[in-house]
Structure 1
Amino acid sequence: MRNPYMLRQRNARLGGIALIAGMTLLASACANTTPVSTSPGDTNAARTSETQGRVAISYPGGISVLDSKTLEVVKKFDSEAFTRLNNAGDGRHVFVTTKAGFQLLDTVEPKLTDIRVDASAAGHVVRHAGNTVLFDDGTGITTIFKTDELAAAEGELPEARTYQADTAHHGVSIVLEDGKLLTTLGDKSSRSGAVALESHGDHWDKVAESKECPGIHGEGTAADEAVIFGCEDGALLYHHGKFEKFTAPDKYGRMGNAFVSETSPIVVGDYKTDPDAEGYLLNSVALIDTEKHTFNVVKLPETVQYTFRDVARGPGDLAYILSTDGSIHVLDPKDGKIVNEFPVIEAWEGPADWQDAHPAIVVNGNIAYVTEPSANTVHSVDLSTGKVTASSKLDVVPNEIAITVGAH
């Protein structure tokens, strides 16, 4: 049964402040409104899951919600052949990107809700400064929610603001502490940079702009709210109201994803030097110091190869790299040195396509969650000791992974 939640946009161009436009309900074959309980009538189970968190795993045709401690499957849902999972930042929900848009998964009850934000090409989801920001690549529309209002969502989404980019592109947006919106510039064929906008009632005013970031992709916020975007020839920084370009040491030096800690000024970026290289494995990282304004590239040991799914920041502001040798290699961003190694899974090969299932790592506090698709298994690892604390054998091949505790 379809039941639309209508949002009427007040301003057609440049977005302005708006109510949510075009929200609809998407029928779900497997939604379950019954709270998860350890015994009949146990109403404390949902509260416990909010405290301990949940893990969401996508696989071909579905999504599983796992208990974060035992990694036992709590509930499974039918979905599409390939879906992406994005932590909503509220400790409860995951945005599932489908062909129809951003669909809300409640990991606490749990249920794959009928609520979605319509999008012709659902893209990045960013959590920062109490806001959860969605970007639709197909329309260039940015949708901004208050994160704490998402947590309380029951049956429908809270009101949102929107911004309409001049042209649709594969982009990303983030809202800062002072309310400024940073969003990418581009069109369907290319991307060039980013713009900072200030909201004034029903319109947005440009306060800064840079077109020095070809192929701009991804974002990350380091200490002192220093925001980094990746470029095909380095990186772009927005800090204290201004943009600054960092140029890579290589003619083609693409940083596509920024791995950050909001207590560290140093950004770790994935790094690629050959635009024609086959496969998705990388063997170097970019280290960007937003305080010292430096951009350095560190060549990793030959045994340490990874993809965009295999880097996370964790305890001590260190970087944890899940390598094809099956180990988590611990990198100190201050000097680029590998300071520890934790064997976790069997050795693996890089994917032929980025959507193909291959090992991934996400971190919550001291615990890393690692997928091992070749063994249909998910592991939890204590990063303070390197010990595997739990493993769960699934009856599906895990692909994407998201956790619902420890968000910004």
Structure 2
Amino acid sequence: MNRTTLMPRRRTLTASAALCTALLTGCAATDADTSDTSVAAATESTTTDAGPTSVRSATPRLAVTYDGGLLVLDAETLSVVGESELDGFNRIAPAGDERHVAVATAGGFRMLDTGTWSQAHGDHAHHYTAAPALTDLVFDAEEPGHVVRHAGRTVLFDDGTGRVVSFDPAELADGSPATSVFTTPAAHHGVAMELSDGRLVTTLGDGKARTGIVVYDANRTEIARSEECPGVHGETVAADESVVFGCENGLLIYRDGVITKVTSPDPYGRIGNQAGSEDSPVVLGDYKTDRDAELERPQRVSLTNTETGELRLVDLGTSYTFRSLGRGPFGEALVLGTDGALHVLDPSSGEVLRRLPVVDPWTEPAQWQTPRPALFVQGFTAYVTDPATNRIHAVDVETGEVTASVELPHTPDEITGVRG
């Protein structure tokens, strides 16, 4: 079937590195680049002496930041199963192994063990849970930025140095993965991604401007570049390993070894945040048109077909923020609006299929670091935080039913999750 058509809706280290956490073993540091050790140990960690518990099935969990720490929740009941104090404005992303979460914090990317995992055993798997722990494992970075997971590799970007560190996330459970290190020509607020054949795609920029992307082969020899992407920001992957980067005047698509520019219909049509699905060639993006606005509250989103280069704009009739974009279980484009509803769009036509009320209407705060409702999607469930009430809601994307709603002990900020 055509990928743009939605499927029927039915479910088918240093001193303390010797102990990354009570659940992790074998923490001896290794590094593919022996001249540059990129993994260090934190000065403190939250660990547990409790052993793992065998459970019947994989147990998804969520991680939520608040001012001063992190919460780990059971993804079904939304009950708090762990909490770690951590000062600062911390940002989180899945580390790639469906167990750990990368925390961008002072000094680097620190690994949070959510305490849920599965181990393959022949034709089946064994499943375990344990108390979550903020581990000692830290990937050093002056200004930790984007975390990208793709093709069995996790890539960390240090905005302060331009250093790119990639590793196999399956090795996180052993304590300290072997890493591959590459440094961009100049430090900048950037992002990088490793492809299935070892190619590396990085943004191009310096402290003054960001202009495009560069592609390197597995030996890190440059093979392609484009400098037709002013203000390059954000990335995602669509079907057939199409890699997409946002620009102030459209998008760059790297597909089948070729970089293609898709131009916005407006002279300044910025797409800085994207949400892709590897099952769909269409990428969901934001869309802003006021270059001089201190805070633009756009009401249109972009849908770009990476196969045809067609860029479609959809007016939602409500604004949204950079934490509002997601993809559903069948590639649906999801947008959490300031009207309090989750808007479910068909990515091929742009038709709004459903509007699911979740929270009260809200207004985007002036500072981007200030908590606002955030969307995270895992499987058939969309999780929506509501800082105004300190609550989190679980919404069935198919039916629109709110399956769980819980008040948290702290005001939620960022949210992500793992499948266990």
TM-score normalised over the length of structure 1: 0.90
**Alpha carbons 2:312, 2:350 under 8 Å: kept:** no
Partner AA of 1:330 in structure 2: V
Q: 1:276: Cα distance to partner?
A: 2.0
**Alpha carbons 1:378, 1:391 under 8 Å: kept:** yes
Superposed, which structure 2 residues align to 1:293-372 within 5 Å? 293-301=309-317, 304-372=318-386
Q: Unmatched 5+ residue regions in structure 2?
A: 1-12, 18-27, 116-129
Provide the secondary structure at the position in 2 that maps to 1:244.
strand
Match of 1:43 among 43, 53, 63: 53
Q: In 2, distance between residues paired with 1:365 and 1:8?
A: 34
1:3 aligns with 15
**Alpha carbons 2:38, 2:165 under 8 Å: kept:** no
Q: 1:4: Cα distance to partner?
A: 7.3
Partner AA of 1:396 in structure 2: H
**Alpha carbons 1:371, 1:378 under 8 Å: kept:** yes
Cα displacement string for residues 211-255 of structure 1 (whole angstroms, at most 9, x for unaligned residues) = 111111111110011111000111001001111111111111110
Q: In 2, distance between residues paired with 1:4 and 1:193?
A: 40
- Greater shift in the superposed pair: 92-101 or 290-299: 290-299
Provide the secondary structure at the position in 2 that maps to 1:148.
helix
1:292–1:396 Cα change, 3 Å: same
Match of 1:240 among 256, 266, 278: 256
Partner AA of 1:332 in structure 2: D
Q: 1:147: Cα distance to partner?
A: 2.2
2:403 aligns with 389
**Alpha carbons 1:193, 1:212 under 8 Å: kept:** yes
Q: 1:25: Cα distance to partner?
A: 1.0
1:13 aligns with none
1:232–1:33 Cα change, 3 Å: same
2:126 aligns with none
Q: 1:278: Cα distance to partner?
A: 3.4
Q: In 2, distance between residues paired with 1:269 and 1:55?
A: 24
Q: 1:81: Cα distance to partner?
A: 2.9
Q: 1:80: Cα distance to partner?
A: 1.8
2:40 aligns with 24
Provide the secondary structure at the position in 1 that maps to 2:335.
strand
1:251 aligns with 267
Q: In 1, distance between residues paired with 2:296 and 2:94?
A: 24
Q: 1:277: Cα distance to partner?
A: 2.0
Match of 1:105 among 95, 104, 112: 112
Partner AA of 1:189 in structure 2: K
1:74–1:19 Cα change, 3 Å: farther
Q: 1:280: Cα distance to partner?
A: 5.1
1:193 aligns with 212
Q: 1:8: Cα distance to partner?
A: 9.0
1:14 aligns with none
Provide the secondary structure at the position in 2 that maps to 1:316.
coil
The reply to whether residue 145 of structure 1 matches residue 157 of structure 2 is no
The reply to whether residue 86 of structure 1 matches residue 100 of structure 2 is no
**Alpha carbons 2:382, 2:397 under 8 Å: kept:** yes
Provide the secondary structure at the position in 2 that maps to 1:275.
coil
Partner AA of 1:198 in structure 2: D
1:210 aligns with 226
1:180–1:42 Cα change, 3 Å: closer
1:42–1:261 Cα change, 3 Å: closer
Superposed, which structure 2 residues align to 1:244-283 within 5 Å? 244-279=260-295, 281-283=297-299
- Greater shift in the superposed pair: 312-321 or 133-142: 312-321
Q: 1:281: Cα distance to partner?
A: 2.8
Q: In 2, distance between residues paired with 1:56 and 1:199?
A: 34
Q: 1:20: Cα distance to partner?
A: 5.7
The reply to whether residue 163 of structure 1 matches residue 179 of structure 2 is no
Cα displacement string for residues 108-144 of structure 1 (whole angstroms, at most 9, x for unaligned residues) = 1310001100100000000000001100000001000
Q: In 1, distance between residues paired with 2:230 and 2:60?
A: 38
Q: In 2, distance between residues paired with 1:280 and 1:395?
A: 32
Q: 1:44: Cα distance to partner?
A: 1.6
TM-score normalised over the length of structure 2: 0.87
Provide the secondary structure at the position in 2 that maps to 1:149.
helix
The reply to whether residue 34 of structure 1 matches residue 34 of structure 2 is no
1:239–1:18 Cα change, 3 Å: farther
The reply to whether residue 74 of structure 1 matches residue 90 of structure 2 is no
Partner AA of 2:48 in structure 1: T
Aligned residues: 383
Q: In 2, distance between residues paired with 1:269 and 1:262?
A: 15
Q: In 1, distance between residues paired with 2:38 and 2:237?
A: 30
Segments ≥4 residues shifted beyond 6 Å: 4-10
Over the matched positions of the two proteins, sequence identity in percent amounts to 46
Q: 1:352: Cα distance to partner?
A: 1.1
Q: In 2, distance between residues paired with 1:172 and 1:137?
A: 8
1:348–1:206 Cα change, 3 Å: same
Match of 1:126 among 141, 145, 148: 148
Q: In 2, distance between residues paired with 1:311 and 1:22?
A: 32
Q: In 2, distance between residues paired with 1:254 and 1:280?
A: 11
RMSD, matched Cα: 2.0
- Greater shift in the superposed pair: 275-284 or 356-365: 275-284
Q: 1:34: Cα distance to partner?
A: 3.5
Provide the secondary structure at the position in 1 that maps to 2:165.
strand
Q: In 2, distance between residues paired with 1:100 and 1:117?
A: 8
